Amino acid sequence: MNRILAGIIFFLFISTGYISFLVHERQQELQKLTHYAAAWSAAQMVSEYYRFESVLGLYTSDETITLDDVRMRLDIMLSQSDLMKEGDLRNYIESNKAYHALALQLEKKLEYLDIHLDKMNRSELQAYLKTMQTLDAPLSRLSSGALDKDINSINDANHKIKTLYYIYSATSVLLIIMSAILGLLIFYQNRNIQKAHLQVKNLAEELQESKEKLQVQNTKLEYDVYHDSLTEMNNRHFFWGNLNETIENAVKSNNTVTVMLFDLDRFKVVNDTYGHDVGDMLLRQISQRLISMGLTSDTLYRLGGDEFAFLSSGLTESSAVSLAQNICDAINQPYTIYNTIINITTSVGIVISDTERRSDYLYKFADLALYEAKNEGAGKIKVFRQWMLDKLQESRTLEHDMALALANKEFVVYYQPIVDSFTQEIYSYEALIRWIHPLKGILSPDTFIPVAEKTGMINEMGKSMLEMACREAVSWVIPAKISVNVSPVQLSSKAFAGIVVSILNETGLSAERLELEVTESSLFTESKTPMNTLNRLRTLGVKISIDDFGTGYSSLSRLSRLAFDKIKIDKSFVNSVSTQEDALNIIRLITGMAKSLNMKTVAEGVETQEQLESLQALGCDFIQGYLFGKPQPYIDGKIRNG
Ligand code: C2E
Ligand code: CA
Ligand code: CA
């Protein structure tokens, strides 16, 4: 487009120049027209000559004509003959030799008369007239020749002017066309510019709109970064930012910093039992309660899952604990979700520090306190103490020692008999792990199993236990069954069934002699692996017992769906069976339920005859406890009887 415009403008420039040139040319030609006066001058001169001849002729015959009249004509003629020496006539005469000679003759004739006119008489003049008349014809030819030449010149000029006129007209038409095109182009260009302007305007508006949208999105994103989408509470990210800020402010004002961590007890059970949407609603209701408590919103956070946190500064230990208690009380009130009443408690870990300024350490300490609170059971509040850290460090050393112990074969199996409650014959032995520590002596499983489970070392430890127990059981004289404890961690591994099968094959123990003791918590998982594993092993003939029954949260419906062989009633119930009515009723309930589900019951921790009798009366099938024998090692082909 720009090229076309430039081309047109260039053309217009050239055309205008050319038109100026044409105008100049035309002017030249027109000037020629006015200049060509030779014919006129010649005709004038010739006619004056004839008039002079006629006056001269009359003078010779007519007395009335005076010499003065002749002199006047002669003077006119002389001045006419002067015209031959100048202008176009002179050019014309000089262009032809004959005309030139004629002009000289004419001049001579006139000069002669000029000198002699007054002295000449009429007859002399008559004779002289005759000589003059010899010039008439040549003069007349000169005049008509000049006329011809002039006419030719005029025709030429006319022709040229005509041509110029055509060129001029054509150029003008072209100019008009080009101007029109230029106008159109400019109009078109203008429209394009207007369009572009409109587009730019729209674009700017769109840009503004997207900028505003982006701003809204940014604000939302910023909000999302710091808030939990489920409960709208401040999230973990916010917590860490504020923890650092709280520490900074506390340093300036020389204040204590308090971090409280709340962890709901049994939340997983609620989720598993009622479904995740109920779990989500519960979390939302909890957060609403926390917010409505009127604590500054900045100080409460949902860290994720069922974990909440509270941050503050300047609190004393007692005020922190009582605040934590208030929060717990609020959380512990029942919830109604979909017409179901749900009760939940929370455990709390608190750290109050005026010396520790590292945020990650403060969090860790509160977490350790929470861990201890959880360990003590549901709904407990614990404040961080130095021993908790020592214990952690100890467990780290324990981890290290345990790895060495596995390699050094420091773990051994102790066996405790399980007897028929009526015949009191040995039905089976439970394999219980012991750590023969080179420095600390014999360590009970409670001191290291939790750490082994946490680190995953339990898989290897459990495998070696199972292998030792099976191998030894094969060599027993009495083919009693062997009960081996299986941790939830082991059961969640897909490889576990394969491990059991290969140990049975390697040791040669028949599957029917092996019983596996699993806890209820093993089965509280979304994964199908534990159940699939147990079912596979059962089809091989391996028996499955539920250990520590009554301490977990098995629902009867869940229990009936799972195919177990035995229920081991936890020793906490057995312990008080002869003293507490409640315990007795619970055991009655369990044995009754087991019978209806076609399962056997084992009572653990039986220490007295009284307990034995109560259990017999309740129809318990098997008994395990110090009354019949403590866990003992297998030495020289025998289990020492404790
Ligand atoms: P558990 O399976 O409930 O084992 C029974 C525990 O009760 C044993 O403690 C046993 O010594 C103790 N006990 C037996 N009779 C009586 C009694 O009459 N009175 C009292 N007060 N206690 C009695 P132990 O051997 O210290 O084992 C503790 C727990 O460690 C076991 O509880 C079991 O859960 C776990 N455990 C032991 N060995 C293993 C193992 O090889 N693998 C796994 N995963 N866990 C094991
Ligand atoms: Ca057990
Ligand atoms: Ca048990």
Burial label for 86, CB within 10 Å (0-12, 13-18, 19+), is exposed
Cα 116–chain centre separation: 126
Q: What is the pLDDT of residue 65?
A: 86
Measured by CA distance, the residue closest to atom 27 of ligand 1 is 445
114 to each of 44, 53, 70, 119, how far by Cα in Å?
20, 14, 10, 10
Q: How far apart are CA 179 and CA 307, in angstroms?
A: 83
Does the pLDDT value for residue 60 go beyond 90?
no
**Please, what sign has the CA dihedral across residues 160, 161, 167, 170?**
negative
User: Confidence class of residue 484 from pLDDT cuts 50, 70 and 90?
Assistant: very high
Q: In this structure, which ligand is nearest to the CA of 418?
A: 1
Q: Which atom of ligand 1 is nearest to the CA of 458?
A: 44
Q: What is the pLDDT of residue 507?
A: 97
Q: Which atom of ligand 1 is nearest to the CA of 433?
A: 38
Q: What is the pLDDT of residue 22?
A: 82
Q: What is the pLDDT of residue 555?
A: 56
Does the pLDDT value for residue 562 go beyond 60?
yes
Q: What is the pLDDT of residue 634?
A: 87
Average pLDDT of the segment spanning 216-222:
89
How high does pLDDT run on average in the chain?
Answer: 90
Q: In this structure, which ligand is nearest to the CA of 574?
A: 1
Give the residue, out of 604, 606, 612, with the most ligand 1 atoms within 8 A of its beta carbon, to mutate for a pocket test: 604
Q: Let me know: does 574 contact 625? Beta carbons within 8 Å.
A: yes
Does the pLDDT value for residue 189 go beyond 90?
no
**Amino acid symbol at 298:** D
Q: How far apart are CA 508 and CA 135, in angstroms?
A: 169
Q: How far is the CA of 515 from the centre of ligand 2 (A)?
A: 10
Helix (H) or strand (E) holding 302: strand 300-304
Q: How far apart are CA 416 and CA 602, in angstroms?
A: 13
Q: What is the pLDDT of residue 557?
A: 60
Q: In this structure, which ligand is nearest to the CA of 570?
A: 3
Q: What is the pLDDT of residue 577?
A: 87
Q: What is the pLDDT of residue 394?
A: 85
Q: How far apart are CA 282 and CA 288, in angstroms?
A: 10
Pairing of strands 345-353, 600-603: unpaired
Q: What is the pLDDT of residue 13?
A: 85
**Three-class SS of residue 362?**
helix
Q: How far is the CA of 565 from the centre of ligand 1 (A)?
A: 20
Does the pLDDT value for residue 296 go beyond 80?
no
For residue 505, count other CB atoms closer than 10 A to its CB.
10
Helix (H) or strand (E) holding 268: helix 267-274
Measured by CA distance, the residue closest to atom 25 of ligand 1 is 432
Q: Which two tokens stand for residue 608?
A: 């007295």
Q: Let me know: does 128 contact 120? Beta carbons within 8 Å.
A: yes
Q: How far is the CA of 517 from the centre of ligand 2 (A)?
A: 6
SS3 labels along 110-149: HHHHHHHHHHCCHHHHHHHHHHHHCCHHHHHHHHHHHHHH
User: Confidence class of residue 354 from pLDDT cuts 50, 70 and 90?
Assistant: confident
Q: How far apart are CA 138 and CA 135, in angstroms?
A: 5
- Higher-pLDDT residue of 414, 354: 414
SS3 labels along 286-317: HHHHHHHCCCCHHHEEEEECCEEEEEEECCCH
Residue 334's region, left for phi above 0, alpha for psi from -120 to 50, else beta, is beta
> Which residues sit with Cβ closer than 5 angstroms to ligand 3, an ion?
547-548, 604
For residue 513, count other CB atoms closer than 10 A to its CB.
19
Average pLDDT of the segment spanning 441-454:
94
19 to each of 29, 31, 165, 224, 270, how far by Cα in Å?
15, 18, 10, 77, 101
Residue 66 backbone dihedrals phi, psi, to 5 degrees: -95, 165
Q: How far is the CA of 485 from the centre of ligand 2 (A)?
A: 5
Q: How far apart are CA 88 and CA 98, in angstroms?
A: 17
Q: Which atom of ligand 1 is nearest to the CA of 626?
A: 18
Say which residue the tokens 């391996």 belong to.
542
Q: For residue 79, give the nearest of 45, 38, 116, 113 by alpha carbon.
A: 45
Q: How far is the CA of 263 from the centre of ligand 3 (A)?
A: 27
Say which residue the tokens 């030779």 belong to.
38
Q: What is the pLDDT of residue 546?
A: 93
Q: Which two tokens stand for residue 620?
A: 């318990």
Q: How far is the CA of 570 from the centre of ligand 3 (A)?
A: 6
Say which residue the tokens 């709109």 belong to.
209
CB within 8 A of 380, min separation 6: which ones?
A: 347, 348, 373, 374
**Please, what sign has the CA dihedral across residues 152, 156, 157, 159?**
positive
Question: Bridge partners of 346?
Answer: 264
Q: How far is the CA of 605 from the centre of ligand 1 (A)?
A: 9
Q: Which atom of ligand 1 is nearest to the CA of 631?
A: 11
Q: How far is the CA of 480 from the centre of ligand 1 (A)?
A: 19
Residue 587's region, left for phi above 0, alpha for psi from -120 to 50, else beta, is alpha
Measured by CA distance, the residue closest to atom 8 of ligand 1 is 432
Q: How far is the CA of 12 from the centre of ligand 3 (A)?
A: 110
Q: What is the pLDDT of residue 522?
A: 82
Residue 196 backbone dihedrals phi, psi, to 5 degrees: -60, -40
Q: For residue 310, give the nearest of 322, 295, 288 by alpha carbon.
A: 295
Measured by CA distance, the residue closest to atom 4 of ligand 1 is 432
Q: How far apart are CA 330 and CA 319, in angstroms?
A: 17
Residue 457 backbone dihedrals phi, psi, to 5 degrees: -65, -20
Q: How far apart are CA 324 and CA 348, in angstroms?
A: 7
Average pLDDT of the segment spanning 345-359:
94
Q: What is the pLDDT of residue 561?
A: 65
Give the residue, out of 419, 432, 577, with the most ligand 1 atoms within 8 A of its beta carbon, to mutate for a pocket test: 432
User: Confidence class of residue 560 from pLDDT cuts 50, 70 and 90?
Assistant: low
Q: How far is the CA of 485 from the centre of ligand 3 (A)?
A: 9
Share of the chain above pLDDT 90, in %: 57
Say which residue the tokens 């259990």 belong to.
615
Q: In this structure, which ligand is nearest to the CA of 432?
A: 1
Q: How far is the CA of 381 from the centre of ligand 2 (A)?
A: 30
Give the residue, out of 464, 485, 607, 612, with the most ligand 1 atoms within 8 A of its beta carbon, to mutate for a pocket test: 485
Average pLDDT of the segment spanning 115-125:
88
Pocket of ligand 1 (CB under 6 A): 416, 431-433, 444-446, 449, 462, 465, 485-487, 517, 547-548, 571, 604-607, 624-626, 631
Model pTM score? 0.55
For residue 294, count other CB atoms closer than 10 A to its CB.
7
Average pLDDT of the segment spanning 452-464:
95
